[in-house]
Amino acid sequence: MKKLTKKLTYDATTEAVAAMLADPAFREEVLERQHVVRGSATVDGDVVTVEQVRSADGVPSFARSFVGDEIAIVQQDTWTSATTADIELSIPGKPGHAQGTLALTDAGGRTTETIDLEVSIKIPLVGGKVETMITDLLARALDVEHRVGVEWLGR
Contact 153, 11 (CB under 8 A): yes
pLDDT of residue 64: 66
Pairwise CA distance, residues 84 & 115, whole Å: 10
Contacts of 45 (CB under 8 A, 6+ apart): none
How does pLDDT run across 58-96, given as a tens digit for each residue? 776 666 666 677 888 999 999 999 999 999 999 888 888
> Exposed, middle or buried, 140 (CB in 10 Å: 0-12/13-18/19+)?
exposed
Q: Which fold has domain 2-154?
A: Alpha-D-Glucose-1,6-Bisphosphate; Chain A, domain 4 (3.30.530)
Please compute the mean of the pLDDT values over residues 4-17 and round it to a whole number: 97
Contact 37, 70 (CB under 8 A): yes
Is the per-residue pLDDT at 131 higher than 80?
Answer: yes
Sequential DSSP letters for 65-106: HHHTTEEEEEEEEEESSSSEEEEEEE-TTSSEEEEEEEEEEE
Domains of the chain, by residue range, sit at: 2-154
pLDDT of residue 65: 67
How does pLDDT run across 29-68, given as a tens digit for each residue? 999 999 999 999 999 999 999 999 988 777 766 666 666 7
- Enter the pTM of the model: 0.90
Contact 111, 105 (CB under 8 A): yes
Q: Tell me the percentage of the chain whose pLDDT exceeds 90.
A: 70
SS3 assignment, position 108:
coil
